[in-house]
Amino acid sequence: MNKKVENVAKAMIDLKNGDTLMLGGFGLCGIPENAISELVRLGVKDLTCISNNAGVDDFGLGLLLHKKQIKKMISSYVGENDEFERQMLSGELDVELIPQGTLAERCRAAQAGFPVIFTPAGYGTEVAEGKETREFDGKMNVMEYAFKADFAFVKAWKGDEAGNLIFKGTARNFNPNMCGAAKITVAEVEELVPLGTLDPNQIHIPGIFIQRIFQGKNYEKRIEQRTVRSRS
């Protein structure tokens, strides 16, 4: 099956204002850079974005925030983004902060066909307010719904035209959990290889979860905190 599209513009041809998007990545690591650039170029508005972080002021989802293209963010941590914090505290941006594991599992539930999950995370905190809670084995749990999204944008290291994906390092993060968790999953890859090149034993995400795949370009892969030790 051939899921390959020519470029990022073709991959997003039916994206509309007001859509709900999932975007992979942790911090700036493993983010779908090409998809984000195209969203900026298209100027689509009123987006709901499900992503662990919101980028930094001048990169990642921070680019969309600056252009006020995002109506609502669903994230777990937004600490490195001043513009995000400003828009949130001023009420311009609707923000739902949820535990990181809950975010991952709400993606995975959508991917796996579970309507809800129960998790102990957030019980007794404001995250659980207004949500159904239930006791299992003497421990309280919060009911959380599977996400419903129009598009999932994920970034992988290698992929083939069947949509099979392999991730690299901690750039894996939320990307595999978002594959197949939206109506349309678009994968961008650093290296799109011919069918038969990838060893089936090494595939992280089978192509069945992917609708469109394209060869990404110009990856910046910005490092947020460059920490090193000296050789001496």
Q: Which CB atom, from 145 or from 195, has the smaller least distance to other proteins?
A: 145
Residues near 222 by Cβ (< 8 Å), separated by ≥ 6? 28, 56, 59
In terms of CB distance, is 200 or 226 closer to other proteins? 226
Min CB(42)–other proteins separation in Å: 26
Positions touching other proteins (CB under 8 A) are: 26-30, 52, 75-80, 85, 88-89, 95, 97-105, 107-108, 119-127, 157, 167-177, 204, 221-231
Please identify, using beta-carbon distances, which residue of 15 and 55 lies nearer to other proteins.
Answer: 55
**Minimum CB–partner distance for residue 56 and other proteins (Å):** 10
| 5 vs 9: CA distance, rounded Å | 9
Closest to other proteins by CB, 35 or 88: 88
Q: Which is nearer to other proteins, 44 or 74 (CB)?
A: 74
Contacts of 3 (CB under 8 A, 6+ apart): 161, 162, 163, 207, 210, 211, 212, 213
The CB-of-88 to other proteins minimum distance in angstroms stands at 6
CA distance 211 to 44: 21
**Residue 187: CB minimum distance to other proteins, A:** 14
DSSP letter assigned to residue 64: H
Which residues does residue 26 pair with via DSSP β-bridges, in sequence order?
29
**Burial readout 166-189 (b: 16 or more C-beta within 10 A, e: otherwise):** bbeeebbbbbbbbbbbbebbbbbb
Cβ 110 to other proteins shortest distance, Å: 11
